[in-house]
Structure 1
Amino acid sequence: AELLAMHHPVLKRDFHRRVLEGTVLQYRLRDDEQKGKGPMVVCIDVSSSMQGDKEMWSKAVALTLMDIARRQRRLFRAVMFSSGDVSLKVLDLNRERRYAPDLNKVVEMAEYFPGGGTDFETPIDAAVELLGEKKLKRGDIVIITDGESQVSPDWLTRLRERKDQLDFSIFAVLVDVGSAETSSLAQFADRITSVKRISDEHARDIFLHVQS
């Protein structure tokens, strides 16, 4: 609507003035679009400790992030994990229709639950490898978990080196419905929130920061 002013000799000058002042109607929208640049790689804990309400919360948060990615035309990858390589499942939800998620993949993400122990290192390494691909560069990692696992100092050192190389952030959503632990997450996550804190304000905080 603002561009219509470009066809009027007087309003055109006023339009240019307001562009410089940042007061045109679409100014804030264009600014927000620039923030949401990168893909999302979301690691979802599907270990035995997540069974029940924790699983439902983790899948709900993942589906919310997926919908945000769709609306912002961002690529979305899900890394489902428990312990080791056997249970690891990487889902490309945009393969066929790019930004519109493949419904079969969404159902697979919602239903997949192998159980077992918890290993943070393998899924984070897989997520970092995805960010190394050309089409997924400038992305960020989100991990959704109850936090009940440990990581080694050597792995943390390698992860920090990769973060410097690829320039990404790691965001954690702690599923604190029941027992939960933050000590390991605090070692490698740049920002942590929890499902009990996801009011409108806290949800906006984590979801906006993951757009950088």
Structure 2
Amino acid sequence: MKNSNSLEGLEKQIQDDLSSFKKFNPNQKIDFIEQNKNEILNPKNPDKSADDPKIKFDEISKLRNFTISKWSDTLDEKTQKWVENTKNSMSNDFLKRMQAWFDAMLKAKELEKQAPELFGENGLFGDAVDMVNNALNLDNLGDLKYQKKVLGDFGDLSDIAASSKGFGNQKGNLNRYSIAQILNYFNMIKNNKALMDICDILGRMQNEEKELYKEKIMELTAYSYTQTTPTKRYKEEIIGITLGNDLENIVPQEMSLLDDEDLELLFDLKYIENRLFCFEKQGLISNQEEGQKEIEKEIEKERKKEDQKGPIIICVDTSGSMQGSPETIAKAITLMLTAKAKKENRNCYLINFSTSTICTDMSGAMGINKINDFLELSFNGGTDVGAGLRVGVEQMNKENYKNSDLLVISDGDFGYIDSNLHKQIEEKRKQKNKFYLLDVDGNSGKKDFFDKHWVYDSNTKNIRILCELKQQMKDD
């Protein structure tokens, strides 16, 4: 609040106050303040006291104080209303998050019942509960944008646990696939030994590489040394000056006292009190020490990496020819192989292909939404196995996938690859990377540009080898 010493200044201030008050509180009725101001400044029935400037100044000051007080009351009322609304908003937000949290926990339990192998320690969906707990973040309560994000995290789990989702149109030619069907088929094949063996074949062992490590060992060492110890028993060299009465080592200046009859008595006194300056001498004694002792040493050794399987790359065909049961089987197998790779701490890269590709890197921290989105999407278009193979070869050039093997899961309904891609694959074979094909109920003939071509029979759930690159080379 500004003060003014003049009536004109005070009049301007109250006018400014009223303008600002109306700007922020347009619905407040304050016309009476304006009327009172005009009546004080321009009275209808003026008398001598009404025209007194001092009286007008005091009246206008009181009116301005009333205006400020009215404004303050309005502000307090608005503040109180805002506090109540904020409390209600935070309370409603908290209740919604808690309800979603409980729902998500129930979904997690449903998922665990459907596919217990996918949960537990190092399970593919093992982070489900952690994801739900992390999503229950009570920061920014009342913020609708933040609330939507939190509830969206819970929704990822609900999408997977949904009993049936059917199909729906997505952007372009992508379609949504039923996760429930994939989980049901997963439970049918989860103990299939042949599929487990394929997973064991994928990803060459890294024991061909060597690593350096340090090891502490105890070693017996012989020692021999000469220890020299100073001693005053031997007067071999002067090391300083000391007080005493050793006449043999007396400092020459002390002998000069004997040349003076008056100072001779002082010499005698210093001799008796051991206070004559004498040279301090010492000698050295050498002792020969020999023996053996055990010491701890840290040495660097080289060893092969053992029992550490390499990463895997899985290309899943979701073209039109795979629509229906073959695609369900392919994705269930993908889910099983990915889960096994997760438990073995192996990197896994997924490629969804038709004539184009969508890729998901399952290494590192794996959220449920990653595998969920991958399994749900399908192209239902043409088939270009080269599109998936090119992406896989590019991935093999990266450090964390250089030891990987690639598996194509398809019905084999595709032609041969172009010469440039074939050359790239051969270069990778020289680096000991392998390329495999798992044919789901296919009858399109041998694909001999793969290291192995397996055929999976969905009726018997058996796997047989249709052709093998080494065998082809022998036949040729």
Q: How does 1:120-139 map to 2 (within 5 A)?
A: 120-139=385-404
Aligned residue identity for 2:358: K
Match of 1:162 in 2: 428
Quote the offset at 1:91 in angstroms.
Answer: 0.5
Aligned residue identity for 1:64: M
RMSD across aligned C-alpha pairs, in angstroms? Answer: 2.1
Aligned residue identity for 1:162: K
Decide whether the 8 Å contact of 2:312 with 2:349 is kept in 1. yes
TM-score scaled by structure 1? Answer: 0.68
Which whole-Å CA distance do the structure 1 matches of 2:376 and 2:306 have between them?
Answer: 34
TM-score scaled by structure 2? Answer: 0.31
The structure whose RCO (Cα within 8 Å, separation 6+) is larger is 1
Indicate yes or no: 2:410 matched with 1:141. no
Residue 72 of structure 1: which of 337, 344, 352 is its match? Answer: 344
Indicate yes or no: 2:453 matched with 1:187. no
Cα 1:152–1:42, aligned 2, differ >3 Å: closer, same or farther? closer
Match of 2:174 in 1: none
Cα distance per residue 1:84-113 (max 9 Å; x no partner): xxx311111224x1xxx3210111111110
3-state DSSP of counterpart to 2:309? coil
Q: How does 1:1-212 map to 2 (within 5 A)?
A: 34=306, 36-83=308-355, 87-95=356-364, 97=365, 101-152=366-417, 154=419, 155-164=421-430, 166-176=431-441, 180-183=443-446, 186-196=447-457, 198-199=461-462, 202=463
Cα 1:135–1:62, aligned 2, differ >3 Å: closer, same or farther? same
Cα 1:106–1:153, aligned 2, differ >3 Å: closer, same or farther? closer
Decide whether the 8 Å contact of 1:79 with 1:123 is kept in 2. yes
Runs of 4+, deviation exceeding 4 Å:
none
Cα distance per residue 1:114-162 (max 9 Å; x no partner): 1111011121011011011001121110100001111245132332123
Quote the offset at 1:198 in angstroms.
Answer: 4.2
User: Which of 1 and 2 has greater Rg?
Assistant: 2
3-state DSSP of counterpart to 2:437? strand
Cα distance per residue 1:13-63 (max 9 Å; x no partner): xxxxxxxxxxxxxxxxxxxx9455210100000100000001100001101
Which whole-Å CA distance do the structure 1 matches of 2:455 and 2:308 have between them?
Answer: 22
Decide whether the 8 Å contact of 2:412 with 2:443 is kept in 1. yes
Cα distance per residue 1:172-209 (max 9 Å; x no partner): 11011xx53233xx22211122221644xx59xxxxxx
Which whole-Å CA distance do the structure 2 matches of 1:41 and 1:131 have between them?
Answer: 9
3-state DSSP of counterpart to 2:378? coil
Structure with higher strand content? 2
Aligned residue identity for 2:381: G
Please list every run of 5 or more consecutive structure 2 residues that lacks an aligned counterpart in the other structure. Answer: 1-304, 465-476
3-state DSSP of counterpart to 1:193? strand
Please list every run of 5 or more consecutive structure 1 residues that lacks an aligned counterpart in the other structure. Answer: 1-32, 204-212
Cα 1:62–1:118, aligned 2, differ >3 Å: closer, same or farther? same
Cα 1:158–1:131, aligned 2, differ >3 Å: closer, same or farther? closer
Aligned residue identity for 1:190: D
3-state DSSP of counterpart to 1:65? helix
What is the number of equivalent residue pairs in this alignment?
157
Cα 1:167–1:49, aligned 2, differ >3 Å: closer, same or farther? same
Decide whether the 8 Å contact of 2:438 with 2:455 is kept in 1. yes
- % identity of equivalent residues: 25
3-state DSSP of counterpart to 1:125? helix
